[in-house]
């Protein structure tokens, strides 16, 4: 018999806050964390705005030696994991750590380390490459460092499915606990790809917004008619998942229950979604089937909503295909409007936003929604948060390579 899985803790490092309180307050009041990018000279770049993490202090989590041996994306992952564990109130010394694991992914991993070490190789030769270069840049090192830091000896793995990474990580961790292979998992995503090369590569794809370089707070505008690309961002979102009785026995404060997980492939194009959003629609249907829910049970969707012309239209088409007439009764918002696109971390951060919306009965708005698009004609909770009861909610993540993930959550009672 499959076991029930609940969420008992959350941790977030983001452009709108590095504490849960600041993060959630920013979403509720519609505060943007997008700024002019100053990490490097952007004068030759078409886009000049990003969602950067401010005031992050790695020395609060690592020794100076450890900082030199870990990439920024792994540092974000550890910080969010520590926050999630504290938030959960779990006492590691009182649990079987052989039954607690980690599944944290990244879309790109240690690209900063790769760039720095490649420059060293070109300028100074092979002998000057750091012996820590490979451990620092590989994607599974975020999970590895977190497991080592807290002595978690259960399942330890990682996923890398572009912008669907965080949602796939949470869904896969949910299945691990559901199958009785662990009692608790830290799961989510982390990303720190705002390097001159990483940012430049997305500019070269013409994926990033270019029309609001002088108004960064207005740059990310999902579902708005004037959207022209996404805002590249960094950060991490990690949650604590537990088997329900494991959580109840220790008197945990339960944030919500995960009851469904759907996946699909577009099998269509390396970057563009499949026509009419049919791949996204199949992921949503799979999530509903897994949750054993009728579409009408869902009242809120935290959309993938990237602020790109094609994605937002096709996600809208997919929602209509899955929900039929009920699509117009749904509250749909994209929290990427506040903080940009955290790539592999997006699913983790957006799962946390969805859980808070359910727990507090407040749906965060889609900010910068100024000019309706006739092709995106659903209720995107424009600009102002909405108080509403949310019993069941869905969070969508879609990635390059045509990979799709849908998570379905239930308010815990």
Residue 21 CB-density burial (10 A; 0-12 exposed, 13-18 middle, 19+ buried): exposed
Tell me, yes or no, if 376 is annotated catalytic.
no
DSSP state of 259: E
Residue 359 CB-density burial (10 A; 0-12 exposed, 13-18 middle, 19+ buried): middle
Which tokens is 91 given?
Answer: 């006492």
Q: Is 224:373 a contact under the CB 8 Å cutoff?
A: yes
User: From the candidates 80, 159, 162, 163, which is the catalytic residue?
Assistant: 163
Which tokens is 262 given?
Answer: 């759907």
Which tokens is 10 given?
Answer: 């959350």
SS3 at position 29: helix
Q: Is 146:152 a contact under the CB 8 Å cutoff?
A: yes
Strand pairing report for 5-13 and 35-36:
unpaired
Q: Is 189:143 a contact under the CB 8 Å cutoff?
A: no
With tokens 């599974």, the residue in question is 140
3-state SS string for 109-145:
CCHHHHHHHHHHHHHHCHHHCCCCHHHHHCCCHHHHH
Closest CA to 313 of 211, 203, 408, 227: 227
Residue 266 CB-density burial (10 A; 0-12 exposed, 13-18 middle, 19+ buried): buried
Residues 6+ apart with CB under 8 A from 368: 32, 217, 218, 219, 220, 221, 222, 224, 337, 383
Helices within 268-391 (DSSP H only): 278-291, 309-323, 336-339, 346-360
Burial call 191-219: b when 16+ CB within 10 Å, e when fewer: bbbbbeebbbebbeeebbbeebbeebebb
Please identify every residue annotated as catalytic. Answer: 163
């Amino acid at each position: 018999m499959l076991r029930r899985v609940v969420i008992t803790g959350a941790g977030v490092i983001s452009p709108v806050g590095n504490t849960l309180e600041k993060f959630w307050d920013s979403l509720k009041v519609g505060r943007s964390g997008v700024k002019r990018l100053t990490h490097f000279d952007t004068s030759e770049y078409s886009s000049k705005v990003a969602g950067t993490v401010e005031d992050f202090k790695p020395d609060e989590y690592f020794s100076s030696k450890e900082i030199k041996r870990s990439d920024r994306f792994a540092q974000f992952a550890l910080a969010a994991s520590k926050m999630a564990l504290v938030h959960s109130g779990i006492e590691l010394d009182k649990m079987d750590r052989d039954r607690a694991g980690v599944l944290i992914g990244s879309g790109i991993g240690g690209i900063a380390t790769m760039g720095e070490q490649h420059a060293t190789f070109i300028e100074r030769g092979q002998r000057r490459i750091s012996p820590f270069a490979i451990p620092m840049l590989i994607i599974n090192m975020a999970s590895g460092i977190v497991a080592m830091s807290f002595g978690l000896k259960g399942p330890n793995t990682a996923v890398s499915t572009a912008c669907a990474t965080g949602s796939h990580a949470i869904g896969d961790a949910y299945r691990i606990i559901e199958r009785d292979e662990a009692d608790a998992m830290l799961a989510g995503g982390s990303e720190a790809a705002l390097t001159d090369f990483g940012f430049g590569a997305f500019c070269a794809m013409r994926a990033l917004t270019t029309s609001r370089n002088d108004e960064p707070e207005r740059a990310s505008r999902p579902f708005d008619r004037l959207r022209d690309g996404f805002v590249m961002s960094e950060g991490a979102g990690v949650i604590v998942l537990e088997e329900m009785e494991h959580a109840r026995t220790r008197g945990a404060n339960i944030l919500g229950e995960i009851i469904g997980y759907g996946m699909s492939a577009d099998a269509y194009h390396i970057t563009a979604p499949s026509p009419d959003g049919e791949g996204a629609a199949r992921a949503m249907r799979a999530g509903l089937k897994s949750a054993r829910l009728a579409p009408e049970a869902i009242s809120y969707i935290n959309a993938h909503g990237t602020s790109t012309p094609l994605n937002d239209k096709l996600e809208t088409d997919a929602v209509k295909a899955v929900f039929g007439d009920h699509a117009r009764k749904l509250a749909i918002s994209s929290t990427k409007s506040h903080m940009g696109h955290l790539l592999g971390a997006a699913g983790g951060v957006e799962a946390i936003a969805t859980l808070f919306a359910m727990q507090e009965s407040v749906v965060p708005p889609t900010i910068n929604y100024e000019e309706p698009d006739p092709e995106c004609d659903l209720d995107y909770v424009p600009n102002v948060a909405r108080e509403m009861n949310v019993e069941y909610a869905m969070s969508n993540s879609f990635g390059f390579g045509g990979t799709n993930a849908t998570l379905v959550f239930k308010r815990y009672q």
